[in-house]
Protein backbone atom coordinates (compact mmCIF):
# COMPACT_ATOMS: atom_id res chain seq x y z
CA UNK A 1 0.00 0.00 0.00
CA UNK A 2 1.43 3.37 -1.00
CA UNK A 3 1.69 6.11 1.59
CA UNK A 4 -1.56 8.12 1.83
CA UNK A 5 -1.46 11.65 0.37
CA UNK A 6 -0.65 14.17 3.10
CA UNK A 7 1.03 11.54 5.26
CA UNK A 8 4.14 10.84 3.16
CA UNK A 9 7.34 10.47 5.13
CA UNK A 10 9.65 13.23 3.75
CA UNK A 11 12.76 11.22 4.61
CA UNK A 12 11.45 8.05 2.90
CA UNK A 13 8.96 9.16 0.21
CA UNK A 14 9.45 6.05 -1.95
CA UNK A 15 8.70 3.57 0.83
CA UNK A 16 5.41 1.67 1.03
CA UNK A 17 3.29 0.63 4.00
CA UNK A 18 3.12 -2.95 5.19
CA UNK A 19 -0.41 -4.12 5.96
CA UNK A 20 -0.75 -6.52 8.86
CA UNK A 21 -4.29 -7.29 7.69
CA UNK A 22 -6.51 -6.21 4.82
CA UNK A 23 -8.23 -2.84 5.24
CA UNK A 24 -11.93 -3.08 4.50
CA UNK A 25 -12.99 -0.83 1.62
CA UNK A 26 -9.76 -0.85 -0.36
CA UNK A 27 -9.54 -2.32 -3.83
CA UNK A 28 -7.33 -5.10 -2.50
CA UNK A 29 -9.70 -6.02 0.35
CA UNK A 30 -12.14 -8.29 -1.56
CA UNK A 31 -9.27 -10.20 -3.14
CA UNK A 32 -7.45 -10.60 0.19
CA UNK A 33 -10.67 -11.76 1.88
CA UNK A 34 -11.42 -14.27 -0.88
CA UNK A 35 -7.88 -15.64 -0.72
CA UNK A 36 -8.17 -15.99 3.06
CA UNK A 37 -11.46 -17.89 2.84
CA UNK A 38 -10.26 -20.02 -0.10
CA UNK A 39 -7.11 -21.02 1.80
CA UNK A 40 -9.19 -22.12 4.77
CA UNK A 41 -11.64 -24.16 2.67
CA UNK A 42 -8.87 -25.87 0.71
CA UNK A 43 -7.12 -26.71 4.00
CA UNK A 44 -10.21 -28.65 5.17
CA UNK A 45 -10.38 -30.62 1.89
CA UNK A 46 -12.93 -28.59 -0.02
CA UNK A 47 -12.61 -28.50 -3.80
CA UNK A 48 -13.15 -25.24 -5.70
CA UNK A 49 -15.61 -25.53 -8.57
CA UNK A 50 -14.20 -25.02 -12.06
CA UNK A 51 -17.56 -23.75 -13.32
CA UNK A 52 -18.08 -21.20 -10.52
CA UNK A 53 -15.08 -19.98 -8.53
CA UNK A 54 -17.37 -18.92 -5.63
CA UNK A 55 -18.64 -22.49 -5.14
CA UNK A 56 -16.75 -25.01 -3.00
CA UNK A 57 -17.67 -28.69 -2.67
CA UNK A 58 -16.69 -31.20 0.02
CA UNK A 59 -17.09 -34.97 -0.40
CA UNK A 60 -17.01 -37.41 2.51
CA UNK A 61 -18.10 -40.86 1.47
CA UNK A 62 -21.64 -40.55 0.21
CA UNK A 63 -22.16 -37.16 1.87
CA UNK A 64 -21.43 -33.73 0.44
CA UNK A 65 -21.31 -30.10 1.59
CA UNK A 66 -21.84 -27.18 -0.76
CA UNK A 67 -20.39 -23.81 0.24
CA UNK A 68 -21.35 -20.68 -1.75
CA UNK A 69 -19.51 -17.43 -1.02
CA UNK A 70 -20.53 -13.92 -2.09
CA UNK A 71 -18.18 -11.38 -0.45
CA UNK A 72 -19.10 -11.86 3.24
CA UNK A 73 -22.46 -13.58 2.67
CA UNK A 74 -22.37 -17.36 2.78
CA UNK A 75 -24.81 -20.16 2.01
CA UNK A 76 -23.90 -23.64 3.28
CA UNK A 77 -25.90 -26.81 2.73
CA UNK A 78 -25.14 -30.50 3.06
CA UNK A 79 -26.58 -33.99 2.91
CA UNK A 80 -25.71 -34.90 6.53
CA UNK A 81 -26.70 -32.72 9.51
CA UNK A 82 -23.87 -33.85 11.79
CA UNK A 83 -21.21 -33.36 9.14
CA UNK A 84 -22.65 -29.95 8.27
CA UNK A 85 -22.73 -28.82 11.91
CA UNK A 86 -19.15 -29.93 12.50
CA UNK A 87 -18.03 -27.88 9.52
CA UNK A 88 -19.97 -24.81 10.73
CA UNK A 89 -18.32 -25.16 14.14
CA UNK A 90 -14.89 -25.32 12.48
CA UNK A 91 -15.76 -22.28 10.37
CA UNK A 92 -16.78 -20.41 13.52
CA UNK A 93 -13.42 -21.12 15.14
CA UNK A 94 -11.58 -19.58 12.19
CA UNK A 95 -13.93 -16.66 11.46
CA UNK A 96 -16.40 -14.47 13.30
CA UNK A 97 -19.66 -15.72 11.81
CA UNK A 98 -23.35 -15.67 12.68
CA UNK A 99 -25.34 -18.80 11.89
CA UNK A 100 -28.85 -17.83 10.76
CA UNK A 101 -29.92 -21.47 10.44
CA UNK A 102 -32.40 -22.16 7.62
CA UNK A 103 -32.12 -19.97 4.53
CA UNK A 104 -34.85 -17.30 4.40
CA UNK A 105 -33.20 -14.16 2.97
CA UNK A 106 -30.05 -13.84 0.89
CA UNK A 107 -28.88 -10.81 -1.14
CA UNK A 108 -32.41 -9.48 -1.56
CA UNK A 109 -33.85 -12.92 -2.39
CA UNK A 110 -36.59 -14.29 -0.14
CA UNK A 111 -36.60 -18.09 0.07
CA UNK A 112 -39.78 -19.92 1.11
CA UNK A 113 -39.46 -23.64 1.75
CA UNK A 114 -42.62 -25.60 1.04
CA UNK A 115 -43.47 -29.27 1.27
CA UNK A 116 -43.66 -29.57 -2.52
CA UNK A 117 -40.76 -27.32 -3.51
CA UNK A 118 -38.90 -24.04 -3.08
CA UNK A 119 -40.26 -20.59 -3.93
CA UNK A 120 -37.86 -17.66 -4.43
CA UNK A 121 -38.98 -14.06 -4.93
CA UNK A 122 -37.91 -10.47 -4.26
CA UNK A 123 -41.05 -9.05 -2.66
CA UNK A 124 -39.22 -6.86 -0.15
CA UNK A 125 -36.75 -5.59 -2.76
CA UNK A 126 -39.55 -4.75 -5.21
CA UNK A 127 -41.64 -3.13 -2.47
CA UNK A 128 -38.72 -0.93 -1.40
CA UNK A 129 -38.05 0.00 -5.04
CA UNK A 130 -41.66 1.08 -5.58
CA UNK A 131 -41.68 3.03 -2.31
CA UNK A 132 -38.42 4.82 -3.11
CA UNK A 133 -39.73 6.08 -6.45
CA UNK A 134 -43.31 6.87 -5.27
CA UNK A 135 -44.89 4.10 -7.36
CA UNK A 136 -46.39 2.00 -4.56
CA UNK A 137 -49.87 3.47 -5.08
CA UNK A 138 -49.70 3.38 -8.89
CA UNK A 139 -52.26 1.49 -10.97
CA UNK A 140 -50.99 -1.96 -12.04
CA UNK A 141 -50.84 -2.97 -15.70
CA UNK A 142 -51.02 -6.46 -17.23
CA UNK A 143 -47.91 -6.22 -19.42
CA UNK A 144 -44.47 -4.72 -18.72
CA UNK A 145 -44.25 -2.99 -22.11
CA UNK A 146 -46.59 -1.83 -24.83
CA UNK A 147 -46.05 -3.13 -28.36
CA UNK A 148 -46.75 0.38 -29.72
CA UNK A 149 -43.65 1.95 -28.14
CA UNK A 150 -40.82 2.79 -30.54
CA UNK A 151 -37.93 3.52 -28.22
CA UNK A 152 -35.53 4.29 -31.07
CA UNK A 153 -37.59 7.23 -32.32
CA UNK A 154 -35.83 10.57 -31.60
CA UNK A 155 -38.94 11.98 -29.93
CA UNK A 156 -39.19 13.67 -26.56
CA UNK A 157 -36.81 15.87 -24.64
CA UNK A 158 -33.73 14.60 -22.87
CA UNK A 159 -34.17 14.00 -19.15
CA UNK A 160 -32.95 16.77 -16.88
CA UNK A 161 -31.81 14.20 -14.33
CA UNK A 162 -30.71 10.99 -16.10
CA UNK A 163 -29.34 9.57 -12.83
CA UNK A 164 -32.84 8.58 -11.70
CA UNK A 165 -33.41 6.70 -14.96
CA UNK A 166 -30.10 4.85 -14.66
CA UNK A 167 -30.77 3.99 -11.03
CA UNK A 168 -34.19 2.60 -11.90
CA UNK A 169 -32.91 0.49 -14.79
CA UNK A 170 -30.06 -0.86 -12.68
CA UNK A 171 -32.50 -1.82 -9.92
CA UNK A 172 -34.79 -3.53 -12.42
CA UNK A 173 -31.85 -5.50 -13.79
CA UNK A 174 -31.29 -6.93 -10.32
CA UNK A 175 -35.01 -7.66 -10.02
CA UNK A 176 -34.69 -9.86 -13.14
CA UNK A 177 -33.04 -12.53 -10.95
CA UNK A 178 -36.50 -13.82 -10.06
CA UNK A 179 -38.60 -12.03 -12.72
CA UNK A 180 -37.76 -13.36 -16.19
CA UNK A 181 -41.00 -11.83 -17.50
CA UNK A 182 -39.46 -8.34 -17.46
CA UNK A 183 -36.16 -9.36 -19.10
CA UNK A 184 -37.04 -8.15 -22.59
CA UNK A 185 -38.48 -4.79 -21.51
CA UNK A 186 -35.57 -4.07 -19.15
CA UNK A 187 -33.09 -4.97 -21.88
CA UNK A 188 -34.89 -2.57 -24.24
CA UNK A 189 -34.71 0.45 -21.92
CA UNK A 190 -31.13 -0.31 -20.80
CA UNK A 191 -29.92 0.50 -24.31
CA UNK A 192 -30.57 4.21 -23.66
CA UNK A 193 -28.58 4.71 -20.48
CA UNK A 194 -26.26 7.31 -22.01
CA UNK A 195 -28.93 9.73 -23.30
CA UNK A 196 -32.37 8.82 -21.89
CA UNK A 197 -35.41 10.74 -23.06
CA UNK A 198 -38.82 11.33 -21.51
CA UNK A 199 -40.51 8.44 -23.45
CA UNK A 200 -37.85 6.07 -22.07
CA UNK A 201 -38.74 7.07 -18.53
CA UNK A 202 -42.42 6.50 -19.32
CA UNK A 203 -41.61 2.91 -20.33
CA UNK A 204 -39.60 2.37 -17.15
CA UNK A 205 -42.52 3.65 -15.06
CA UNK A 206 -44.79 1.18 -16.89
CA UNK A 207 -42.44 -1.67 -15.92
CA UNK A 208 -42.73 -0.54 -12.29
CA UNK A 209 -46.52 -0.57 -12.59
CA UNK A 210 -46.31 -4.13 -13.89
CA UNK A 211 -44.06 -5.06 -10.96
CA UNK A 212 -46.66 -3.54 -8.62
CA UNK A 213 -49.26 -5.98 -9.95
CA UNK A 214 -46.95 -9.01 -9.76
CA UNK A 215 -45.28 -8.48 -6.37
CA UNK A 216 -45.83 -12.06 -5.26
CA UNK A 217 -44.44 -13.61 -8.45
CA UNK A 218 -41.13 -15.46 -8.43
CA UNK A 219 -39.43 -18.72 -9.29
CA UNK A 220 -40.64 -22.10 -8.07
CA UNK A 221 -38.34 -25.11 -7.98
CA UNK A 222 -40.03 -28.49 -7.61
CA UNK A 223 -38.23 -31.79 -6.94
CA UNK A 224 -37.58 -33.79 -10.09
CA UNK A 225 -37.63 -37.55 -10.42
CA UNK A 226 -34.77 -39.08 -12.43
CA UNK A 227 -34.11 -39.15 -15.24
CA UNK A 228 -34.27 -35.35 -15.38
CA UNK A 229 -34.31 -33.79 -18.84
CA UNK A 230 -32.13 -30.75 -19.45
CA UNK A 231 -33.13 -28.57 -22.42
CA UNK A 232 -33.20 -25.02 -23.75
CA UNK A 233 -35.34 -22.85 -26.03
CA UNK A 234 -34.01 -20.03 -28.21
CA UNK A 235 -35.70 -17.46 -30.44
CA UNK A 236 -34.77 -14.34 -32.41
CA UNK A 237 -36.65 -11.53 -34.12
CA UNK A 238 -34.72 -10.53 -37.22
CA UNK A 239 -33.61 -6.87 -37.58
CA UNK A 240 -36.19 -5.63 -35.08
CA UNK A 241 -34.22 -2.52 -34.13
CA UNK A 242 -35.13 0.17 -36.67
CA UNK A 243 -32.08 2.28 -35.79
CA UNK A 244 -29.32 -0.35 -36.02
CA UNK A 245 -31.11 -3.23 -37.80
CA UNK A 246 -29.76 -5.63 -35.22
CA UNK A 247 -31.76 -8.60 -33.96
CA UNK A 248 -32.97 -9.14 -30.41
CA UNK A 249 -32.63 -12.69 -29.14
CA UNK A 250 -33.39 -14.70 -26.05
CA UNK A 251 -33.16 -18.16 -24.56
CA UNK A 252 -34.63 -20.18 -21.69
CA UNK A 253 -32.92 -23.13 -20.01
CA UNK A 254 -34.96 -25.70 -18.09
CA UNK A 255 -33.95 -28.47 -15.71
CA UNK A 256 -36.99 -30.68 -15.82
CA UNK A 257 -39.90 -28.32 -15.24
CA UNK A 258 -37.73 -25.72 -13.44
CA UNK A 259 -36.53 -22.59 -15.22
CA UNK A 260 -32.89 -22.08 -14.17
CA UNK A 261 -31.43 -19.60 -16.69
CA UNK A 262 -32.65 -17.04 -19.23
CA UNK A 263 -31.42 -14.11 -21.28
CA UNK A 264 -32.77 -11.38 -23.55
CA UNK A 265 -30.19 -9.39 -25.46
CA UNK A 266 -29.60 -7.49 -28.69
CA UNK A 267 -27.08 -9.18 -30.96
CA UNK A 268 -23.74 -7.31 -31.29
CA UNK A 269 -23.68 -7.43 -35.12
CA UNK A 270 -26.14 -7.28 -38.00
CA UNK A 271 -27.41 -10.62 -39.36
CA UNK A 272 -27.98 -10.89 -43.09
CA UNK A 273 -30.90 -13.29 -42.77
CA UNK A 274 -33.30 -14.61 -40.17
CA UNK A 275 -31.59 -18.00 -40.33
CA UNK A 276 -28.22 -16.41 -39.54
CA UNK A 277 -29.65 -14.58 -36.53
CA UNK A 278 -31.32 -17.79 -35.28
CA UNK A 279 -28.19 -19.91 -35.59
CA UNK A 280 -26.02 -17.18 -34.10
CA UNK A 281 -27.99 -17.09 -30.87
CA UNK A 282 -28.29 -20.85 -30.75
CA UNK A 283 -24.55 -20.81 -30.05
CA UNK A 284 -25.15 -18.59 -27.01
CA UNK A 285 -27.85 -20.95 -25.74
CA UNK A 286 -25.57 -23.93 -26.37
CA UNK A 287 -22.70 -22.27 -24.48
CA UNK A 288 -25.01 -21.57 -21.53
CA UNK A 289 -26.34 -25.13 -21.41
CA UNK A 290 -22.79 -26.52 -21.65
CA UNK A 291 -21.68 -24.43 -18.69
CA UNK A 292 -24.78 -25.33 -16.65
CA UNK A 293 -24.37 -29.03 -17.48
CA UNK A 294 -20.83 -29.00 -16.13
CA UNK A 295 -21.96 -27.10 -13.02
CA UNK A 296 -24.70 -29.67 -12.42
CA UNK A 297 -22.15 -32.44 -12.92
CA UNK A 298 -19.96 -30.92 -10.21
CA UNK A 299 -23.00 -30.69 -7.92
CA UNK A 300 -23.65 -34.38 -8.48
CA UNK A 301 -26.94 -33.98 -10.34
CA UNK A 302 -28.07 -36.84 -12.58
CA UNK A 303 -29.11 -35.48 -15.98
pLDDT in tens, the chain (303 residues): 888 888 899 999 999 988 887 666 777 778 888 899 999 999 998 999 999 999 999 998 889 999 999 988 899 999 999 999 999 999 998 888 888 888 899 988 999 988 888 999 999 999 999 999 999 989 999 999 887 777 777 778 888 889 999 999 999 999 999 999 999 999 989 988 888 999 899 999 999 999 999 988 999 999 888 888 889 999 988 887 777 888 888 999 999 899 999 998 888 888 888 898 888 889 999 999 999 999 999 988 766
Tell me the CA distances in angstroms from 171 to 94, 146, 163, 186, 260, one per residue in order. 35, 21, 12, 10, 21
pLDDT of residue 161: 86
Shortest CA distance to 250 belongs to which of 186, 157, 205, 166?
Answer: 186
Q: Is 261 helix (H, G, I), strand (E, B) or coil?
A: strand
pLDDT of residue 243: 74
pLDDT of residue 303: 60
pTM for the model: 0.82
How buried is 303 (Cβ within 10 angstroms: 0-12 exposed, 13-18 middle, 19+ buried)?
A: middle
Q: Which residues pair with 220 in a beta bridge?
A: 119
pLDDT of residue 99: 87
Whole-angstrom Cα distance, residue 285 to residue 280? 9
Whole-angstrom Cα distance, residue 44 to residue 85? 14
Amino acid sequence: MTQPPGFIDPSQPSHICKLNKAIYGLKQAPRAWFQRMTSFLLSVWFLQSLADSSLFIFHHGQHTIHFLLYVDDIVVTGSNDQLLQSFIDALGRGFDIKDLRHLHYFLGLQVHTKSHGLHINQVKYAHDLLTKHDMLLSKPVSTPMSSKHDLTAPDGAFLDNPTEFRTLVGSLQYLMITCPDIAFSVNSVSQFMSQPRVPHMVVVKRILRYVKGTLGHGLFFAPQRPPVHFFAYSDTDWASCLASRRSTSGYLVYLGSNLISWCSKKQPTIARSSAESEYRYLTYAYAETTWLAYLLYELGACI
